[in-house]
Amino acid sequence: MGSVKNGRIANYRIIWQFTELSTTLQQLSEKAKTATEEIGRLKGLHDVIRNNCNDFKSNVCIQIDQLIEQLQMRKEKLMQHVEEQAENKRRILKAQIVRCTGKLTKTSALIQFCIEALKEPDATVYMQISNALLHRSTSLEFLWHKEMRTKPEIDSDFVLNLDTKHLQYTIQTLDFAQLKAGRRGTRFKGDPSRGRSDKKIDIFQ
């Protein structure tokens, strides 16, 4: 009787673990699908950054080209600042994509391995690995939102303005208005309304 009872308990345990693992895998599969789409959109931001950067530089060039020849050297420094800011955005975006893609790759590998385990006809073999697989998949699903952060960590816009009201005074110190504020004691924040800070770059170095 004892062996029969133990056998029934083992069967119930297998059924419960099978159900839990199947449910978790289904949830992970949906999240992996969503993450794949979101990572695709993240990759698309490279083009957005490039286009916005080109548009911004074109607008700045139009203003500078209307000024006298003395502004040429300052123009090159402004272009350097814009390009450095764009490069910083690309670097952050690339790192985010690498992290998310790596997490997604590990998740996909675990899902595939679990699927193969579910096909195992030998209950003894399945029992040897089921606890570990259930623990790993459950932990992965629980920490998903914490570890899979696909919201863009950068602002693809370039929020900089030229101060042209007092041209004769500023011609030797032409600068973006945001950087002038930074030298008065306010750190450069990019677009204050967005609450996102960009690294300060001193274009006079």
Q: What is residue 186's predicted lDDT score, i.e. its pLDDT? A: 43
Distance spanning both ends of the chain, measured CA to CA: 86
Cα–Cα distance between 63 and 56 in angstroms, integer? 11
In 119-202, alpha helices (H):
123-142, 144-147, 167-170, 177-183
* Closest listed residue to residue 44, CA positions, set 100, 8, 93: 93
Q: What is residue 199's predicted lDDT score, i.e. its pLDDT? A: 37
pLDDT tens digits along 167-187: 566 666 667 777 666 666 444
Q: What is residue 195's predicted lDDT score, i.e. its pLDDT? A: 38
Find all residues with CB under 8 Å of 152, minimum gap 6, and list them: 42, 45, 93, 96
Q: Please, which pLDDT band fits residue 192 given cuts at 50, 70 and 90?
A: very low
Q: What is residue 159's predicted lDDT score, i.e. its pLDDT? A: 83
Q: Where are the domains of the chain?
A: 7-151
Angle formed at CA 90 by CA 84 and CA 94, multiple of 5 degrees: 145
Classified as helix, coil or strand, 198 is coil
pLDDT tens digits along 75-86: 788 788 889 999
* Closest listed residue to residue 21, CA positions, set 105, 121, 127: 127
Show the tokens assigned to 179: 């950087």
